[in-house]
Structure 1
Amino acid sequence: MLSVLLGCGGSDEPDTDLPGTGPGESKCGANGVLLCDGFEQASVGGAPDPATWQVQVFNQLGSISIDSSQAHSGTKSVHVVGTGTESYRSVLFTTTQPFPPQNNSFYTRVFLRAKLPMAEGHSTYFGAGSADNQRMVRIGFHQHVFETNLIHPDKEYEQLSGPWGQPSQGVQLQPNEWHCVETFFNGAQHELRVWLDGTEMTGLHVTNWNVGLSKWSPQYAKAWFGFETYHGEQAELWYDDLIIGTQPIGCGG
C-alpha cells in the first residue's frame, strides 16, 4: 500500500489552508484533528491530491478519480470503481502521515456512498495497519452486512455485525445514500469500535475477536480507503469529508 499526508492544527476555528478544505468541513480545525480532506481543491477527473494521497489500482482493474456528480458537502468527492471478475482486486487511496499516532490510537470519520447493496462475498471499504502489511484491521462487508477482520501473521479473524447468513439481523449500508462511518482504532487497549450514522455497531466492538486473543493491534502506520475484494465483487463508491483525529469526531460538520 502507499504514501503521504498533512496534519492539521488544534485551533477552534477551521483552517482554510488545509488541503481539500471546502464547505461543510467545519471540523477541520477542531482539537485533535490530524488530517482533514473534503477534496474540494483537487481537479475533477484527476486523482486525489498526490501530496496527500497515493493511489493504488491493482492490475488496472478499476479507477479512482475526483468526481463532481456526487458530494456530501461542497461539490466534489472521491469516486472509486472496482471492475473485472478476478477474485482479488484492490483500488485504494492511502496515507502514511500523520502516522504513527500517539498511543497507537486514532479515530477516522468518512462519509460513504455506495451504488450497489452489500454483497455476499468478503470485501473491504477501508482499513489501517502496519507498514509491512503483515498486520491490519479492515472494515467492509461479508454475507450482506458490515464486517471487520484482522489480518494477523498466518491467521485471519472475522467478526460480523449480525449472525452468519442472516442479513436482516446485521447492519447494512443502504445504497445511493450518504452514510457517516466512524471508527476507533484503539491500539493502546487492543480494541476496535465502529459507528454508522452516529449509532455504534455493537457487533463490531472487538476486544479479543471472540478467541481470547490479546495484544493483537497492529502498530498503525497508515490508513487506506477505497475498495478491496477477495471474492470478485463489483463496487462503485464515493468518499467525502474524511477526517483522522485523536478524539471522537462525530457526523456533524
Structure 2
Amino acid sequence: MTTRVAIVTGANKGIGFAIVESLCKQFDGDVILTGRSEERCQVAVTQLQKEGLSPKYYTLDIDDLSSIIKLKDFIKENYGGIDILINNAGISNKVGTIGERATTTCRTNYFGTLNVCNTLFPLLKPHARVVNVSSMASQEAISKCNEDMRSKFKQPNITMDELTALIQQFIDAAQIDDHEKQGFFFKPYGMSKLGVTVMTFIQQRELNSDPREDIVVNACCPGYVATDMTLHKGPKTITEGADTPVYLALLSPGTTSPKGDFVSDRTIQNWG
C-alpha cells in the first residue's frame, strides 16, 4: 500500500512550519516541508525532529516552473499521488515602486500558486484536500475595487483565464500607476490574495465534475500572525495561525461544507 503524503509550500518558517508541525502529529502519512532554501529546510526539519517528529523536505521555488515540475516527478515516483496540498508560500513585498511591488507580489502569490496547482492537481487522489492560504486582505481588496471591477471578479462562472487576465491587467496598470483609475484596489498584496481566493472558487467548481471522488479545495485566512511578514506584530502565534489550514487539510471524507469556500477561524466567510 502506498504511503499517504501531505505537501506544504513555504514551510521552513512561520505559519508553514507550524502547519507541518501540526500535520506531523495528526496525519497518517509523510509530511513534506518545502521551501526555496535547502539549508533552511534542513534546519526546520532538524528542529522538528528534536520534538520527536519525522517530516521530510524537498527544495521548491514556486516562482520557478522547472522546480515545481521536479517536485511533481518526485511525488509521482515515490507516492503515486497527493493526499494533501497546502499552498502556503507567499510574500508581501513592501519595497520599490507600485509597479515593482505589483509584479513581484502577484508573480509569487498568484502565478506561483496557480503554477503549483496546474502542475500538481493531476496527481490529486480521490478524497484529496487542497488549502490555498489567502488572507482577509482579499476581502478588503474586493470590497474596495470599484463596482465594475468587483462585478468582473465576482461573475458566477468566471474562468481561470479570465481571472488571470484581470490579475495581469492589474500588474500592467500598476506599471503606469493607473490601477486605481481602472478600478482596482491599490494594494498589491490584497490584489494578489483576491486572485488566490477567486482561484479557489474556480478550482472547486472545475473539480466538482472531475471523475476523482471527493476532492475539496478551500481558501483560508490564517489570521494576523506574528511572522516575518507582519514584522512579528500579529497577535496570533504561528501555531494558532496553522489551526484553520490544518483543519481544512484534515476534513473528513465526504465533506460538503466547507467546500470551495473562504474560511477564517474555521468559519466560512461571506466574501466581498
TM-score under structure 1 normalisation?
0.31
Is the helix fraction higher in 1 or 2? 2
* Larger proportion of strand: 1
Structure scoring higher RCO (CA < 8 A, sep ≥ 6) equals 1
* Superposition TM-score, scaled by structure 2 size: 0.30
Q: Is the radius of gyration larger for structure 1 or structure 2?
A: 2
